[in-house]
A and B are shown apart, each in its own frame.
Chain A
Amino acid sequence: MLVMKKLSKIYRTENIETHALRGFDIHVREGEFVAVTGPSGSGKTTFLNIAGLLEDFTSGEYHLDGQNVRGLGDVARSRLRNEKIGFIFQSFNLIPDLNLYHNVDVPLRYRGMSRGERRDRIEAALSQVGLSSRMKHYPAELSGGQQQRVAIARALAGGPRLLLADEPTGNLDSQMARSVLELLEEINGRGTTILMVTHDPELAARANRNVHIIDGQVSDLVHEPVLRAAAAPATATP
């Protein structure tokens, strides 16, 4: 689904070069639920941004769903983002003056779908996150957990192959976080690949694969027992 080889990302200012990612190799298979962990400044978000085609990379290779993305123009990258990738952000990033229906409608508008098809998809997506009865509500009228559910519905409406989640539960209390995570697991269960950046070991432990990033380099901790053990007490905490 997602293959990066020897990928690097360097931020340059006049005097300083910062290597956010260096020699970054990763292969995420279709249907995986991958948790990406690492200390602050390690390059997690840069990795997610590059994976989501929101940023360009300096060198290396990146294939998304079999397509080499290097050298793609803005329109092609935008189309790929729109058709194959869904985003979930820590701060939800709903558009405040659009109601839920129109928020979920945003990615579908750029797909050029008919009104009927958009309506069906919006209703199905909001129904999937349990908010079909609140389509006319505005984000400010919802709780944080509900807003994140709307963001998930928006990400799902376009039928993405890859879901990128950046600290999706970072702004939620534990109960809401659990409910959002269950929703993500349900989505993954239906075959959508999920890449989730998190600081929370409990969340990381529930993913079926963990990727740890340190200093812009990746160490793959598939089913790492130590990490699971570390996460266990946290799971028991109410």
Chain B
Amino acid sequence: MFTYYLALGIRHLRRNPILTALIVVTLAVGVAASMATLTVLRAMSADPIPGKSDRLFTPNLDNRPDDGSSQDPRPPDQLTYRDAIALKNAKPGLRKSAVMRISPVVAPSRADVKPFFGDGISVHADFFKMMDVPFIEGGPWSEADDARGGHVVVLRESMAERLFGDANPIGKTLRLDTYDATVTGVVSDRWEPLPRFYRLVSGPPPFRGVEDLFIPWTTAIANQMQPQGNVNCFSDPPPDAPPGYEGLKQSECVWIQFWVELASPSDAPAYKDFLDGYVAEQRKLGRFPLPNNNRLYDVKGWLDVNKIVSKDTRLQTYLAFGFLLVCLVNCIGLLLAKFTARSGEIGVRRALGAPRRAVFKQYLVESGVVGLVGGLAGLGLTFASLWFLRKQSEEFAVLAKMDWVMLGITLAVAVLSSLLAGLLPTWRACQVQPALQLKSQ
């Protein structure tokens, strides 16, 4: 009978075409408004590294002075140079990498490309495996390069094309600030984790900007590259501190982000114990005056504390779904009018042997058919809304994109919404007194 009801539903779309069009448009507008905002919210709150996000952690150590100058219960969100070195060299942790944004002058060997400031990050070789970075040519540099501060570089695909054209860039050199770096690998342009959780602190917004090049963190430090982000110092340097970059390295200023991969999420408490132990040891040396207040965030926790999905975005989504609800209430009224106009037919069907439940099924399927049409129209409107959003900002350009899952969700929301909206009119249709209708026809 389902196919019969389905055929009737499709046939009855043409009955009362204005009323049907009104229902479809109302539903489509509600679906488009809610799905466009949901698409953005979903992209913002998506897991940037599925399957691994519960094994990647960033440690925060509270090295603030005990002078009551900071009321923030959270410890600083970056590490000092000394702590980054110590955590990298410590045994716990499967893979570890410091992360520091850099912007060296890139001087290509091609005469037709002028020198420019590159956007990049300095990391350890572990970073590429930790973050599942896909290479299209070559690979990461070696651990030996990490140890000695090797003059090596990994380029993003588009940057490699810009610098070397169609030629294979592996083994070629380019000048970075004051030294020549050899290309060891090319990262696919498809690698675009959103949000860019590994460098959330300061710098460009989490959904904007890409790294054109990657160099060893040790090389960046050795060449005294300036960190492109916040450097937070909670106290004045001691009078005997060396000046300049060396002073920064020995200071209690935090300026380095750090990530560690653990073998299993269950290893996190042990790693946290290790952090507390490390801080306790450092306290004996006169550092970390405050009681232990160290944190270890996995990727999701890190995105949460950094409020990547803003309250405004959530509020927009709630409002959009509220609007969908208003549209559904309108649809209920319109469906009531549509079904009431067919009371005579319901009376005939009941007289010819249709039990109430058959009428219920028929009209619910019909609501679903209207919902499907409304969903398809809503899908079109959603695509249009997302296109419009993408034109508004660079951030929306990457966020406002429909994928297959959202496409399915959109259609499902439309059909479910219409079924929900159809419940009351369908129930009312079942209550039609056939005797009354047949006489009044």
Q: Which residues of A contact B (CB under 8 A)?
A: 45, 49, 52, 54-55, 74-75, 78-79, 81-83, 87, 89, 91, 93-95, 97-98, 106-107, 109-111, 154, 158, 166
Interface size on B, residues (CB 8 A): 26
Residue of A nearest to B362 (CB): A109
Assembly CA distance A49 to B436 (angstroms): 9
Pick from B1, B353, B439: contact of A82, CB below 8 A: B353
Assembly CA distance A82 to B356 (angstroms): 13
Q: How far is the CB of B11 from chain A (nearest CB, A)?
A: 6
Assembly CA distance A87 to B12 (angstroms): 24
Given contacts A55-B435, A78-B355, 5 further A-B contacts (CB under 8 A): A52-B351, A93-B344, A95-B348, A158-B353, A166-B438
- Is B15 an interface residue when CB atoms closer than 8 A count as contact? yes
- Is B404 an interface residue when CB atoms closer than 8 A count as contact? no
Residue of B nearest to A157 (CB): B352
Across the A-B interface, give the 9 residue pairs with the lowest CB-CB distance, nearest first.
Answer: A82-B353, A78-B355, A107-B352, A49-B435, A110-B353, A54-B435, A91-B441, A75-B355, A93-B348
Chain A residues contacting B14 (CB-CB under 8 Å) are: 97
Beyond A89-B441, A93-B438, A97-B14, is A110–B354 a contact (Cβ under 8 Å)?
A: yes
Chain A residues contacting B350 (CB-CB under 8 Å) are: 54, 78
What is the 8 Å Cβ interface bit string for chain B, positions 341-370, against chain A (1 contact, 0 not)?
000110111111111111000000000000
Assembly CA distance A75 to B434 (angstroms): 15
What is the 8 Å Cβ interface bit string for chain B, positions 1-38, against chain A (1 contact, 0 not)?
10010000001101100000000000000000000000
Chain A residues contacting B433 (CB-CB under 8 Å) are: 55
Beyond A93-B344, A97-B11, is A154–B353 a contact (Cβ under 8 Å)?
A: no
Q: Check A109–B438 contact: CB distance below 8 A.
A: no
Chain B residues contacting A107 (CB-CB under 8 Å) are: 352-353
Q: How far is the CB of A221 from chain B (nearest CB, A)?
A: 25
Q: How far is the CB of B441 from chain A (nearest CB, A)?
A: 5
Assembly CA distance A23 to B433 (angstroms): 24
Beyond A49-B435, A89-B441, is A74–B355 a contact (Cβ under 8 Å)?
A: yes
Chain B residues contacting A54 (CB-CB under 8 Å) are: 350-351, 434-435, 438
